[in-house]
Amino acid sequence: MDQIFSQIADYVSTFDQPSEEAWHNARLCLADSLGCAILALQFPECTKLLGPVIPKTLVPGGSRVPGTSYVLDPIRAAFNIGIMIRWLDFNDTWLAAEWGHPSDNLGGLLAVSDFVSQQRVSQGLSSLTVRELLLAMIKAHEVQGILALNTSFNRIGFDHVILVKIATTAVAAHLLGATYTQICAAISNAWIDAGPLRTYRHFPNTGSRKSWAAGDATSRGVQFAWIAKQGEMGYPFGLTAPRWGVNDVLFKGQPVKLERPLGFYVMENVLFKIAFPAEFHAQTAVECAFKLHPEVINRLEEIEKIEIHTHESALRIIDKTGTLTNPADRDHCLQYMVAVALLHGKLVAEHYEEATAQDPRLDILRNKMHLSEHPAYTKDYLDPSKRSIANDLTIYFKDGKKTSTLVIEYPLGHRKRRQEALPLLFEKFQNNLALLFTKEEVETFVDLFHDPETLDSLPVQEFVSMFCRPS
């Protein structure tokens, strides 16, 4: 079979020795992702897509959806949880030749782990523990992130959620108890399924599908894992088959490769979105704008030009002019995010909604912005030893004066600023949970995540039960 299929299958079947830093970050990812999911429940455009296909259906022994009373089959539950985690673009991020959000896989992994745990308990067997869920997260992060290092789907018009599907498929198959051969078959099906075009992320089609695409991908991963577990065949040369394989069809014959051995590199280096929901290539630009807010808020009419130097990926994804028609359009527009930050001194999910977007000052500021690539920023963005996401911001006034040029290389939540970010990450976690849970319940959750030994040993089905709400 194709080597990548066996490499991934070997890894998910046998790897069990992450670093302490990877374990620590996995706990942070679990907390942060669940917090993002609870926050998303405040938005009707998200909640209208949740629940069973047939209203009021409850699946005995099924997977629970945190923050709700839904009990669904694992495939549908993965879709629900995946949507919630990703809806507000506030979960963790990975940037390389391909970008994406490795915690998107948690939709499938949590659904499958909850289901498998309940099944095992009903059979008199031991439950999966949260530590086993964390190990599954580390593996999914690694598969998605290492494939992303040198495989760019965005450059050929496909969406990065392809890699979510592949990672979820591999790890979910292992959690379901699939054999090595079945895991390989599942992975092959995920690869040849390819994925959606990313046109829903770009003008003129930008829309809310980008908020449920990862939920769709992680649920597809669970589906491929399930059918492989039933004995469905795989396609051993799905990548390398002449003419009809992925290499020839998508990459003009260039082979898909793993740039480095699979381990725990991605979980150690994952990026957290801490203080505000914004597409990650814009995070440092928004931070610069926050710092300049006090200096310019009373001089908006005097601004002549706003100059932003950035990296090539930001220009390709989030450099937008003209009309922005919906929240999905706005949260992928660097100019809009910077304008909101300059105007309000903060950026929250509600700022992407129509009530804020109607402010004419935002378009006035956007029209004064000039974006250009700084080659050094692009170089450092791709440098494995740096992985910076640099932006700089200068504001020029009509009287000939200007602000100082603010440069931020590493955003809050980057590995190089991890310690600075930790208190804020838990503040974000607490604030999100407080939208649904009592003060006492929130304190219980926070205490649990500050006690790794207790958290890790908790049965998964008990952990999920803590986050569920009665109907």
Quick: pLDDT tens for 198-246. Answer: 999 988 899 999 999 999 999 999 999 999 999 999 999 999 999 999 9
* CA distance linking residue 181 with residue 352, whole number of Å: 46
- Quick one: average pLDDT of 430-435? 97
Q: Are strands 303-310 and 63-64 parallel, antiparallel or unpaired?
A: unpaired
**At what angle are helices 161-175 and 106-122 packed, to 10 degrees?**
10
- Quick one: average pLDDT of 105-129? 97
> What Rg do the C-alpha atoms of the chain give, in angstroms?
22
* CA distance linking residue 432 with residue 442, whole number of Å: 9
Residue 158, strand partner residues? 197
Q: What is the pLDDT of residue 132?
A: 98
Nearest one of 273, 264, 278, 1 to 138, comparing CA atoms = 264
Q: Where are the beta strands (DSSP E) in 299-384?
A: 303-310, 369-373
Averaged pLDDT of the chain: 96
Question: How would you class 388 by CB atoms within 10 Å of its CB: exposed for 0-12, middle for 13-18, buried for 19 or more?
Answer: buried
- Quick one: average pLDDT of 127-134? 98
Residue 119 and residue 240 in contact, taking contact as beta carbons nearer than 8 Å:
no
Q: What is the pLDDT of residue 95?
A: 86
Per DSSP, 404 falls in state P
Work out the percent of the chain whose per-residue pLDDT is above 90: 92
Over 90: is that where the pLDDT of 276 sits? Answer: no
**Exposure string for 420-448, b = 16+ CB within 10 A, e = fewer:** ebeeebbebbbebbeebbeeeebeebbeb
When mean pLDDT is compared across 129-138, 266-275, 290-299, 454-463, the lowest value belongs to 266-275
Nearest one of 198, 223, 228, 226 to 213, comparing CA atoms = 198
HSE value, Cβ hemisphere, 13 Å, CA-based, for 202: 13
- Quick one: average pLDDT of 186-204? 94
Confidence of residue 7 (pLDDT cuts 50, 70, 90): very high
pTM, two decimal places: 0.91
- Quick one: average pLDDT of 26-42? 97
305-310-313-319 Cα dihedral, nearest 10 degrees: -10
Over 90: is that where the pLDDT of 83 sits? Answer: yes
Confidence of residue 275 (pLDDT cuts 50, 70, 90): confident
**Exposure string for 201-234, b = 16+ CB within 10 A, e = fewer:** bbeeebebbbbbbbbbbbbbbbbbbbbbbeeeeb
